[in-house]
Amino acid sequence: MSGPLAGLNILDFSTLLPGPFATMMLADLGADVLHIEAPNKADVVKDLQPQLESGVSASYAYLQRGKKKQVIDLKSAEGLQQIDELLLEYDIIIEQFRPGIMAKFGLDYDTLHARFPQLIYCSITGYGQTGPLATHAGHDINYLALSGVANSLRRAGERPVASGMQLADIAGGSLHAIIALLAAVIERGTTGFGQHIDISMLDAALALHPLFGPMQLATNETLEPEAAELNGGSFYDYYETKDGRYVAVGTLEIKFQQRLAEVLAIPDWFDVAMPLKKQRVAEAIRAKDFAAWQVILAHEPELCITPVLTFLEAVHQPHAQARGVLAQTQLVSPLRFTKK
C-alpha cells in the first residue's frame, strides 16, 4: 500500500461498524491493516443483504477493503502464539470488545505493554473502560439516546428520528479513534512509547454538541426542539415541495437572505416576524415541484438552498460525479492529498 500512513502496521480485532470503518480509512491512507477474524463467529454486517458473489455482503466488502485477513482462534494456545508472532511486526492494536474480554486472552494493554512498550492500543467501546455502564452492551441508538443527541433530532411533540446513518458509531467511535491513534503515533515518534487509547462512543457523542451544549451548560436550561435558530425554530429548516419532496433552507447570513427574498418573491422579508417568515418560505417552496426547484437551485450559488436527495441521487448528482466519489460500486475515500 502507498499513502501518507504507509509504514503503520495495525492489528484489527474489531467487528460490526465503528472499528472496521476506522481501520478501513486507515487502510485507505496506506496503513497495513490485518483484520483478525474469529472462526465460527457471526458478524452481522457480513450477513447483511445484498450478498456478493464472494459470499459476503456489499457493506462488509466495503468496510474490509484494503485489509489483509487472518482467521485466528484467540481461545486456543496456537492462536495466541500466532498473535504473539504478529506483535513483532504489528505495533498498533484496535479492538472493540467490552472491557475485560481481551484480558481473558492475555491480550489486554497492561499485559502487552510490559513486553511491547511501543505498542499503541486503541479500545473502542460504547461506554468506555470505566464507569457504571462500562460492561453494558449497546448500539448506536443507545449512545445517541444517552448523549442527548437523539433528543436533539426530533420535532416538538414528536419522537426522535431512527436515523439510517450511525452518528455515534462513526462520528463518535471511528473518527475519534482515528484522531487519537494518529496523535499517539506522533507522540511515539518523540518518546518511543505507545499508550492505551480509551474511546467511549457515549463520551464522543456528548462532544457532538459544540454549539448547543455550551449554551445549555451556561444557562443550566434544556434547549427544547424547535426553540432555536438551528433546530427548527427559524426558517433554517426543511420544506415540502408541491409533489411531496423536500428542500433544505440554510440561508443564515443577511446577504443570502436578501437573495432568498428575491427568489421567493417576499418583498417585506426584513419587516416580518420569524413565524411569518417561515410560513412564507413554506408557501413559496410548496408552489413548485421538486424538479423545478432543482433547476432553479442549480443556478443560485448564493441561496444556501439544496434539494433533499436520496443516497443514490446524491452519489449520482453531477457534482458528486465530478468529484469522483464512486469507483465502480464503492464510495472512494473522501480524504484527498496533493503532492508537488
Specify whether the CB–CB gap between 290 and 306 falls below 8 A.
Answer: no
238's enclosing H/E stretch is: strand 237-240
DSSP state of 154: S
Is the peptide bond prior to 50 cis by the omega test (within 30 degrees of 0)? Answer: yes
Name residue 82's amino acid. Q
Of 32, 91, 140, 169, which residue is the catalytic one? 169
Q: Which of 43, 73, 84, 139 is catalytic?
A: 139
237 catalytic, yes or no? no
Name residue 10's beta-bridge partners: 33, 92
For residue 273, count CB atoms less than 10 angstroms from its CB and return exposed for 0-12, middle for 13-18, buried for 19 or more. Answer: exposed
Task: Take residue 340 and report the three cell numbers written for it.
Answer: 508537488
Q: Tell me how far apart the alpha carbons of residues 45 and 58 are, in angstroms, rounded to a whole number.
A: 9
Asked about 139 being catalytic, the answer comes back as: yes
Chain centroid to CA 249: 23
CA distance 270 to 284: 16
> What amino acid occupies position 175?
L
Positions annotated as catalytic residues are 139, 169
